[in-house]
Structures are given as C-alpha cells and as structure tokens.
Amino acid sequence: MVGAIRLRHALAGVIIAGMMILSLFGGYLVYMQQQAAASWQDDGGPDPRGTLILCGGGSIPDAVFDRFVRYAGGRSARIVVIPAYCPTAREKRELVSEWRAHGVASVAVLSATTRAEADASAVGSPFADATGVWISGGNQRYLAEIYVDTEVERQLQALLDRGGVVGGVSAGAAIMTQTMIVGGSDPVLEERGFDLLPGTVVDQHFLKRNRTQRLLNVLAGHRDLIGLGIDEHTAVVIERERGHWSVIGKSYAMVCLPAGEGFPRLEILKAGDSTDIELLREQGAAAITSAAFWDTISETAAARP
C-alpha cells in the first residue's frame, strides 16, 4: 500500500514536471515567434542607411503601398514620384491622387525630359526634405537615358544615406541596379542603371513572363552578381545596412547566389519570407524565416491549456 502511494506521488511529480517543461517550452516558442515576427514584419523601422522596396510589376498590393508609406513617415511622408515615361498633365494629377489615397499629404512629381534638366542644381529642390521616392513602371531605358549619373541619381543616394526609402515597380525596380536589363533574352540587352543596390541585378514580371533563363543568361556574364527575380504583385524590401530582405505581396521572388564558375545557387522566397542576405549566402534555405511557420507556432502555443 505504501509502495503504491509512493508510486502515485512519483508519477504525479513526473506529470507536474512534464507540464512545467511544456509550459516553459510553450513560452519559449511564443518568445521565438515574437522575435521572428519582429524580424519579418520589420518592426525595427526604416534602415539607417535606407530601404529599397522593389515591386515586380502588375498591380501594386496594398501591403506594398502601406510599407512604403510607413517607411517614408506615414501621414508626415513627403514623397517624390518619378514616372518612367513622359506624363501628361492629367497623368501627373493621377499619380498625385494615387498616393494621396494612401494617406500621403505631400506628393511631388518629377518629370525631367532631358539630361540637362535632370542634372541641373534646381532639380534637387523637391528632394531636399523628401522622405521617400517612388519610381513608376514604364520604360527603364527612358529612365536611364535621362537620369543615370545626374543630380537626380545623386539625390536618390543622399536620400537613402539619411535613412529614406526608395521604391519602384517594374521599370522602376529594374533601374535600381547598375547592371540593368532593358530587354531581350538571348542575348539579353543591358544598360547602366542606378547604383543603389551594388552587387545585384534585378529582373521583374519574373514568373508571369518566365524570365528565369533570361536572368541566368545575365549572370553568366556577371558571375559576381546576385540575381533577384521578382514576380508580379510582389515586392522585396531590402534594408541596405542590416542586410535584411523580406518578401511582401502575393507571389514569389528568386535569389540567384554566385557560385564562382559554377551554376548559381537558387533560393525561392514566398510572400511572408525573410532572410539575412549574408546568412543566405552561407546557409542557404536554412536562413529563410517563414512568417506562416511562426504564425502556426504562435497559434499552437496560444491554444495550449
């Protein structure tokens, strides 16, 4: 009888200890989820050396607008929009209205038509107190011919250096890198773009237009570059100093990592994924954090008795 009582006490102790361990483990999972969420949701705010938001084309999801506006200062944001075409007066009004609909009170449209205009000192005026610049879709060759290596590019770099945000969609994403794809597939046509994301080349409309091979063709001639392919309705948020890359929107992005003379290593990031680009180089897919995974962990931990 005494032995049975002792056994029951021992079993109860084991059960209680197990429950304590599970409780502690559950708390640890919640903590880890909160830490991961802080990472992929970019709760740390804009990067001190600037943030790039590159959208692959198609319709721009609200999540992309919201992230850009938040990083530019929310309702205090002061945005300059650069069209990748020569806009009419009506089109300029539409660009302003689009951003005002997302809560931005101060919106200026910059539309130089010649390199001389883009290189004039006066062009810096709208950038003086700007917190964000958005470059529209259109024609990246048009952007390059007018703005590359002018005062406008210098102002964009200065904006990033003081912690601002520069975003773009389609042509506006392609122009961000010095090696810029302007057309073709084999051969691919290249020109010089802005040097806002050194060591990288961007392609857009990536899955929708089946451009994997095109990007690989470019990388075959630039084996030191990272290739970044971004699908439509999707954006990659790049924190330049922190090295944090995250995907928002509805589809996928592909990161092609240099492998010397070998075939680039391909990593796929879906909407909600994030990574540290240097860790991704070293660890591959193990360095990718999935928001959906941590949401599941959080829900499981929260549901425990």
CB 158 within 8 A of CB 102: no
What domains can you pick out in the chain, each with its CATH number? 46-271 (3.40.50.880)
Name residue, tokens 């810096």.
Answer: 124
Write the DSSP symbol of residue 59: S
Report the C-alpha gap between 111 and 104 in whole angstroms: 19
Report the C-alpha gap between 98 and 95 in whole angstroms: 5
What digits encode the pLDDT tens for the residues 39-95?
444 445 788 889 999 999 999 999 999 999 999 999 999 999 999 999 999 999 999
pLDDT at 195 over 90: yes
Helix (H, G, I), strand (E, B) or coil at 183: strand
What digits encode the pLDDT tens for the residues 119-164?
999 999 999 999 999 999 999 999 999 999 999 999 999 999 999 9
pLDDT at 7: 41
pLDDT at 292: 60
Query: Three-state secondary structure along 103-160?
Result: CCCEEEECCCCCHHHHHCHHHHHHHCCCCEEEEEEECHHHHHHHHCCCHHHHHHHHHH
pLDDT at 125: 93
Largest CA distance in the chain: 99
Token reading at 55: 């959208």
261 band by pLDDT with thresholds 50, 70 and 90? confident
107 band by pLDDT with thresholds 50, 70 and 90? very high
